[in-house]
Amino acid sequence: MDREQKYQHLMGRVLRVGVIASSLLMTAGLVIAAVQSSPVPLPERNPSLGELIRQLFSGQLTSMTGAAAPTLMFTGLVLLMFTPFLRVVTTFFVFWKERDGRFMAIATVVFLLLAAQVAYSLSQL
């Protein structure tokens, strides 16, 4: 296996870890929602990242009540939304290891565009 292939394997693994983690969170949320006797109340709006993090560490999850279900699902979905960021960061790392300055710059531009977009969107919450 040459160096390029080695890096492609690394990127593949990074992506897979992100996908598996987010699937487990969504599945856990759906299972909790399914076993509740009454319908799980959905939040009126999508939570901000800060609210999501606070909910994750508020003890809500360990209670395994219906309120934990949307928090777990949102966390899984947001984690999945961040996996392409991981892809861009890993790509930057690959170009850095290959000392390819031109493509390090291109990966940086893509990352900055995405980051600016996400920051703008989250500021609207």
Partner 1 sequence: MSFPSFLSLLAGGFAAGVFGTLLGLGGGLFLVPFLVIVVGVPMHQAVATSIIAVIATSSTGASIYLERGLVNIRLGMLLEVATVIGAIAGGLTASALSGEVLAKLFAAIMLVAAALMIRRLREDRGEEVIPNGAFPAQFTDEATGNVVRYGARRIPATMAISFLAGNVSGLLGIGGGVFKVPAMHLLSGVPLKAATATSNFMIGVTATASAFIYFAHGHLNPVLASCATLGVLGGSFVGTHISRRVHSELLAWVFIVVLLVVSLQMFLR
63 vs 117 by CB, closer to partner 1 = 117
* 41 belongs to the binding site for partner 1 (CB under 8 A): no
Quick check: 50 and 104 in contact, CB under 8 A? Answer: no
Give the number of other Cβ atoms within 10 Å of residue 43's Cβ. 12
CA–CA separation, 28 and 64 (whole Å): 10
Query: Rule CB under 8 A: is residue 33 a binding residue for partner 1?
Result: yes
Taking the least distance from each CB to partner 1, the nearer of 16 and 54 is 16
CA distances for 77 relative to 1, 5, 57, angstroms: 34, 30, 17
Positions touching partner 1 (CB under 8 A) are 4-5, 8-9, 11-13, 15-16, 18-19, 23, 26-27, 29-30, 33-34, 40, 42, 44-46, 70, 73-74, 76-78, 80-85, 87-88, 91, 94, 103, 106-107, 109-110, 113-114, 117-118, 121-122, 124-125
